[in-house]
């Protein structure tokens, strides 16, 4: 046991123990993103069914200048991006900001030092004007720490970006708590630019989380591979199937892995067996889809008001500027 569990994956081991011991088994979607998971997510974003990335890209391409003017109107600022990822759409915003003559420094925050490095290189290339100051770390921790200035200090104005409907990975109460945490770091002239995926025709959403190329299935199964490798488990991937669901009433898209048979999985880092009944599901991820009342409720409940809204041509997705209430 000691040989497998080190400091780095102790938290992972704990979370897997907690999730697989629960009455309704679950794993945490934050663990999808190992190196292979990053690649699989890239493949998902490139799949024709996954409309989210294209929609947000379209919004920034078509309305980037408006957004840039809106967020820079109140003067110089730090642009802090939570979970910057590959930065493909961020470059549209940065270029629009440059074109409007905005005075800003870009601070991407990401858990992956590697993707931060790639991002800095990609964005700096051809943009001699760009001031970039990456912060490596978990954005929850970075938000909670002084690395992002606390509202009592009189540092520069701040615009926080949280794009791609990443908020959707939180259940409703956690989403609210997270937004409150963000709000707590902000002052009156600061702003939040947030991307949210909207409720729409069911078939469109179902397809986005069940692409024909099987990337979403592989993305989910990869977490079992990660547990096998990092925690010494013996998950048989062929004994689980990808079973996504969408509830149009609540707007929750949820991914599950479903056990095809009655089986036992041993995890050596935990020195423990886990039993799965035929058809038993592991809840893997929620991707919440929003509508206006839901958005209003989240904004109000966390001390914001919706200042500006931008939509793609199909009204599938929205990027919004939220202002302190």
Q: Which residues bind ligand AVJ (CB under 6 A)?
A: 44, 52, 164-166, 168-169, 209, 216, 219, 285, 287
Least Å distance between CB 73 and ligand AVJ? 28
Residue of minimal CB distance from ligand AVJ? 287
Q: What contacts 324, CB < 8 A, 6 or more positions away?
A: 183, 186, 187, 188, 190, 303, 304, 305
Least Å distance between CB 242 and ligand AVJ? 10
**Helix or strand (DSSP H, E) at 12:** helix 7-21
Q: What contacts 267, CB < 8 A, 6 or more positions away?
A: 16, 20, 227, 231, 232, 233, 274
Q: Which is nearer to ligand AVJ, 158 or 215 (CB)?
A: 215
Least Å distance between CB 246 and ligand AVJ? 12
> What's the CA angle centered on 85, arms 321 and 172, to 5 degrees?
55
10 Å CB burial of residue 167 (0-12, 13-18, 19+) is: buried
Q: Which is nearer to ligand AVJ, 55 or 269 (CB)?
A: 55
Q: Which is nearer to ligand AVJ, 95 or 197 (CB)?
A: 197
Least Å distance between CB 287 and ligand AVJ? 3
Q: Which is nearer to ligand AVJ, 64 or 83 (CB)?
A: 83
Q: Which is nearer to ligand AVJ, 72 or 84 (CB)?
A: 84
Least Å distance between CB 175 and ligand AVJ? 12
Q: What contacts 237, CB < 8 A, 6 or more positions away?
A: 221, 224, 225
């Amino acid at each position: 046991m000691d040989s497998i569990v080190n400091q780095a994956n102790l938290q992972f081991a704990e979370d897997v123990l907690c999730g697989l011991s629960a009455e309704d088994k679950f794993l945490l979607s934050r663990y999808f993103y190992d190196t292979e998971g990053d690649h699989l997510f890239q493949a998902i974003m490139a799949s024709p069914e996954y409309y989210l990335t294209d929609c947000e890209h379209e919004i920034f391409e078509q309305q980037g200048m408006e957004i840039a003017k809106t967020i820079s109107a109140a003067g110089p600022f730090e642009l802090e991006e939570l979970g910057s990822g590959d930065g493909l759409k961020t470059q549209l915003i940065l270029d629009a900001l440059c074109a409007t003559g905005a005075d800003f420094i870009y601070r991407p925050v990401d858990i992956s030092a590697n993707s931060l490095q790639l991002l800095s290189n990609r964005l700096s290339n051809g943009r001699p004007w760009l001031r970039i100051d990456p912060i490596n770390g978990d954005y929850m921790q970075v938000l909670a720490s002084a690395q992002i200035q606390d509202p009592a200090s009189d540092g520069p104005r701040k615009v926080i970006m949280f794009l791609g409907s990443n908020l959707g990975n939180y259940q409703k109460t956690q989403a609210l708590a997270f937004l409150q945490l963000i709000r707590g770091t902000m002052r009156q002239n600061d702003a939040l630019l947030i991307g949210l995926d909207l409720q729409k025709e069911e078939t469109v959403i179902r397809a986005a989380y069940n692409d024909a190329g099987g990337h979403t299935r592989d993305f989910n199964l990869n977490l079992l591979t990660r547990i096998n490798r990092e925690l010494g488990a013996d998950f048989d991937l062929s004994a689980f199937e990808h079973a996504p669901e969408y509830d149009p009433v609540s707007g929750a898209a949820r991914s599950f892995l479903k056990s095809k048979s009655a089986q036992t999985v041993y995890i050596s880092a935990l020195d423990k067996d886990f039993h799965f009944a035929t058809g038993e599901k592991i809840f893997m991820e929620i991707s919440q889809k929003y509508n206006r009342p839901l958005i209003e409720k989240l904004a109000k409940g966390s001390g914001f008001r919706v200042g500006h809204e931008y939509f793609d041509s199909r009204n599938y997705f929205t990027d919004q500027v939220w202002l302190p209430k």
